[in-house]
Amino acid sequence: MDTPLLIAGLGNPGSQYARNRHNAGFIVLDELHAHHKFGPWKAKFDGLLSEGSLAGRKTYLLKPQTFMNLSGDSVGPALRFFKLPLEALVVVHDEIDLAAGKLKVKTGGGDAGQNGLRSITATLGPDYRRVRLGIGHPGDKDRVSGHVLQNFGEGEIAWLKPLVGAMVEAAPLLAKDDDKGFMSKVALLLQPPKPDKQEPKKKDTD
């Protein structure tokens, strides 16, 4: 495709936030960056920007350094600078309204209380693609802030690592605008391996 792709991963800057549930977008982009051999991170657009390609399509990775609530202040200028249409933007973010470990991709819609999305939508409008990584809801809206700003627990790392790995492997399908194919491949990669069928042992008749 001639039109480049911009993938923005949402999170908060600083080592104290690095393993937070709210930083799922940063975690995915760091793995994408390493696995697909993107260029070095450079400070641009109030964020960290890297260039590379996915499935032969020029792709920019962006990690806004504005803090979550002002993500649009980084994503908006980047999209405008590269003169990209809104459909060339993919935002990777944590989603409390999805069960932990679930993944969904959709275009447009509301922000479901995700302040990074709210900021981007206020800047650019809602019609961009969202890769939603479920972190589960704490059950009480008053506990949401504490929930998203806590680190992923050891039990969560058990599903997070394979999920992020599958997302990274399937990412070229996002560059082909094949969101359903992306979700299907992630699901396939996460299936447990089937046990080898062993021949039934023959009984000794001696």
Phi, psi of 107 (to 5 degrees): -110, 130
CATH number of the domain encompassing residue 170: 3.40.50.1470
- Average pLDDT value for residue range 63-84: 97
Cα–Cα distance, 14 to 153 (Å, whole number): 19
Number of domains the chain contains: 1
Predicted pLDDT of residue 3: 95
Q: Between the ranges 1-10, 143-152, 170-179, where is the mean pLDDT highest?
A: 170-179
Mean pLDDT of 92-101: 92
Please name the residues in contact with 131: beta carbons below 8 A apart, sequence gap of 6 or more: 28, 90, 91, 92, 93, 103, 104, 105, 167, 174
Establish whether 147 is a catalytic residue. no
Between residues 81 and 150, the one the model is more confident about: 81
Query: Which of 48, 11, 12 shows the shortest CA–CA distance to 33?
Result: 48
Flag whether 109 is in a domain: yes
Catalytic residue among 22, 33, 36, 147: 22
Structural domain includes residue 206: no
Residue 60: helix, strand or coil by DSSP?
strand
Cβ neighbourhood burial of 90 (10 Å; 0-12, 13-18, 19+): buried
Domain that holds residue 24: 5-189
Tokens (6 digits) for 38: 């993107």
Closest to 111 in 3D by CA, of 99, 89, 96? 96
> Does residue 198 form part of some domain?
no
**Position 170 in a domain:** yes
- Quick: pLDDT tens for 167-203: 999 999 999 999 999 999 999 999 887 776 665 566 6
pLDDT (average), residues 140-161? 89
* Residue 199 forms part of a structural domain: no
Does residue 204 fall inside a structural domain?
Answer: no
pTM summary value = 0.91
Across the chain, mean pLDDT equals: 92
User: Of the spans 131-140, 147-156, 169-178, which averages the highest pLDDT?
Assistant: 169-178
Helical pair 154-175 and 179-189, crossing angle rounded to 10 deg? 140
CB 11 within 8 A of CB 3: no
Residue 155 tokens read as 């039990």
Residue 68 lies in a domain: yes
